[in-house]
């Protein structure tokens, strides 16, 4: 068990010790279960900052006033990258919008049509405009409860940090929408958009029950067992919808089917898709993902496979946060040519994509658009896979489209075979993908 898993379990056990106090504290709040769970999530992140960076950095996190997410704090701390979100709408639009609107959507939901885009904009304005009523007595009472949970730390320091950094959401009064508002409210989004504590969580202060439809918003969901952030997202949701590896799934909606059957390269290309980087904080939220992410064996295997095969290859660098130096000595021809654009827009219909991780979001682009791909991972990483992901890997492995990172020679031979004979997924693999990821 990893150290982060120990903290995760410890936090849950300690939280149970004050649950009865919290139930009494939030008595009468309609969305009490979600509020208490979000408090557990926030405290876990707070304790992770103390464990990872120390008490002084935890103080910075709390006193900053702009940083509410431990992940955002870690990017700023380790790389100087600012991804903090502090948007706030001052006019209380929610009072007006709640009279005719009962369904809200935030990032992670399906937004393609004009109606969906309007709905998304209205939802954002409504939720970020929720005005909070604060009573200092409630704040002090909550801090007293939480100090019991955090008894291992200096109590004076904890009082100072919580007083400054605890989101107002946790001690604000319930928001009365009024008799004219809908009794049944719903929110569809990635639960991560709530767990960033940038104001979206305030919707759960409504005095109407808010049903949360959680949506997968990238790769990696259902890939591993015991990813703490994923477990939190699923627990927070009334229903969580994955893209094929979760308990309940629907066809992914992030990538459109381009239907460009004529969009082929003159010469079939091998495109190596690079993974993103991580901060150390990811080890506390995604322990298996982080462990695989800092393991370079798959990268070395792919590079060695291409060198041994003598096949020309392209590199598709990661768009977004990451550590580009990881691939500096291994890249092929730069597919982006230095431009910061979404990688999927450069993929041709007959490209073969190579993934050195089993969590890449672009794997779902390939599934949607029928691109053939290969995946390489370590045997150690495979042991952490979920049952569904092991089945997927085994099918790809059976037909020579997945490899372990110690199988460089086999990979090299397979690359030459695919290149020489213009191979694609066989019917059994195609049917498996249709059944488990497309026709769902």
What's the pLDDT tens digit per position in 159-169? 999 999 999 99
Predicted pLDDT of residue 96: 75
Residue 314 dihedral angles phi and psi, to the nearest 5° = -110, 155
Is the pLDDT score of 93 beyond 90?
no
Q: How far is Cα of residue 156 from the mean position of the Cα atoms in its chain?
A: 35
What span, in angstroms and rounded, lies between the C-alpha atoms of 171 and 137? 9
Of the chain, the percentage scoring pLDDT greater than 70 comes to: 95
What's the whole-number mean pLDDT along residues 381-397? 98
Q: How confident is the model at residue 99 (pLDDT cuts 50, 70, 90)?
A: low
For residue 380, the cross-strand partners are none
Residue 111 dihedral angles phi and psi, to the nearest 5° = -135, 95
Predicted pLDDT of residue 199: 93
Q: In a 3-state reduction of DSSP, which class is residue 440?
A: coil
- Give the CB-side neighbour count of residue 305, counting CA atoms within 13 A: 31
Q: How confident is the model at residue 108 (pLDDT cuts 50, 70, 90)?
A: very high
What span, in angstroms and rounded, lies between the C-alpha atoms of 327 and 306? 14
Q: Which CATH number fits domain 270-438: 3.40.50, 1.10.357, 1.10.3470, 1.20.1300?
A: 3.40.50
Is the pLDDT score of 291 beyond 70?
yes
Helical residues (DSSP H) of 54-196, grouped into ranges: 55-63, 70-79, 93-97, 114-128, 136-149, 155-165, 192-195
pLDDT digits (tens, 9 = 90+) for 76-92: 999 988 887 756 666 66
Q: Tokens representing 115?
A: 């109606």
Helical residues (DSSP H) of 237-377, grouped into ranges: 282-285, 287-293, 297-309, 362-369
Q: Residue 392: which H helix or E strand, with range?
A: helix 387-398
For residue 206, the cross-strand partners are 175
CA 385, 284, 36 angle in degrees (round to 5)? 105
Q: Is the dihedral of CA 292, 372, 387, 406 positive or negative?
A: negative
CA 129, 130, 133 angle in degrees (round to 5)? 135
pLDDT digits (tens, 9 = 90+) for 304-330: 999 999 999 999 998 776 666 899 999
Q: Is the dihedral of CA 14, 17, 21, 22 positive or negative?
A: positive
Question: Which range among 8-12, 179-183, 288-292, 396-400 shows the weakest confidence by mean pLDDT?
Answer: 179-183
Q: Residue with structure tokens 């089945």?
A: 391
pLDDT digits (tens, 9 = 90+) for 331-382: 999 998 877 788 899 999 999 999 999 999 999 999 999 999 999 999 999 9
What span, in angstroms and rounded, lies between the C-alpha atoms of 234 and 183? 24
Predicted pLDDT of residue 162: 96
Contact 177, 208 (CB under 8 A): yes
Contact 127, 185 (CB under 8 A): no
Predicted pLDDT of residue 259: 66
What's the whole-number mean pLDDT along residues 269-281? 95
Q: Tokens representing 20?
A: 């009865």
> For the chain, what is the total number of helices (H) and then of strands (E)?
19, 10
Q: In a 3-state reduction of DSSP, which class is residue 247?
A: coil
Domain ranges of the chain: 1-85+134-171, 270-438
């Amino acid at each position: 068990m990893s150290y982060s898993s120990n903290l995760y379990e410890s936090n849950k056990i300690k939280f149970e010790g004050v649950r009865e106090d919290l139930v009494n504290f939030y008595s009468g709040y309609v969305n009490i279960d979600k509020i208490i769970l979000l408090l557990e999530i926030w405290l876990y992140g707070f304790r992770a900052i103390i464990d990872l960076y120390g008490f002084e950095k935890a103080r910075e996190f709390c006193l900053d006033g702009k940083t509410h997410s431990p992940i955002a704090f870690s990017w700023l701390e380790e790389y100087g990258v600012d991804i903090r979100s502090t948007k706030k709408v001052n006019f209380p639009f929610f009072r007006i919008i709640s009279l005719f609107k009962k369904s809200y959507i935030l990032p992670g939901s399906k937004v393609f049509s004009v109606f969906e885009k309007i709905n998304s904009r209205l939802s954002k304005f409504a939720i970020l405009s929720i005005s909070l009523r604060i009573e200092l007595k409630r704040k002090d009472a909550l801090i007293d409860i939480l100090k019991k949970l955090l008894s291992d730390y200096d109590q004076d320091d904890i009082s100072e940090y919580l007083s400054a950094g605890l989101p107002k959401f946790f001690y604000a009064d319930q928001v009365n929408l009024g008799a004219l508002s809908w009794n049944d409210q719903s929110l569809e989004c990635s639960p991560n958009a709530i767990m960033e504590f940038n104001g979206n969580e305030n919707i759960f202060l409504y005095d109407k029950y808010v049903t949360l439809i959680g949506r997968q918003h990238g790769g990696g969901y259902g890939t591993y067992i015991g990813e703490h952030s994923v477990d939190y997202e699923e627990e927070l949701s009334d229903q969580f919808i994955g893209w094929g590896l979760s308990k309940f799934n629907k066809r992914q909606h992030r990538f459109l089917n381009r239907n460009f059957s004529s969009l082929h390269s003159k010469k079939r290309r091998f495109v190596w898709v690079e993974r993103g980087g991580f901060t150390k904080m990811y080890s506390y939220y995604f322990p298996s993902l982080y462990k695989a992410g800092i393991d370079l064996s798959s990268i070395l295997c792919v590079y060695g496979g291409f060198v041994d095969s003598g096949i020309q290859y392209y590199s598709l660098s990661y768009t977004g946060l990451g550590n580009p130096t990881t691939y500096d000595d291994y890249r092929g021809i730069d597919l982006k040519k230095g431009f910061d654009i979404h990688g999927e827009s450069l993929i041709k219909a007959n490209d073969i994509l190579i993934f050195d991780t089993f969590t890449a979001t672009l794997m779902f682009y390939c599934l949607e658009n029928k691109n053939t791909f290969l995946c390489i991972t370590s045997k150690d990483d495979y042991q952490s896979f979920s049952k569904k992901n092991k089945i997927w890997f085994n099918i790809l492995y059976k037909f020579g489209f997945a490899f372990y990172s110690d199988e460089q020679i086999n990979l090299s031979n397979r690359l030459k075979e695919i290149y020489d004979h213009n191979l694609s997924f066989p019917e059994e693999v195609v049917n498996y993908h249709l059944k488990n990821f497309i026709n769902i």
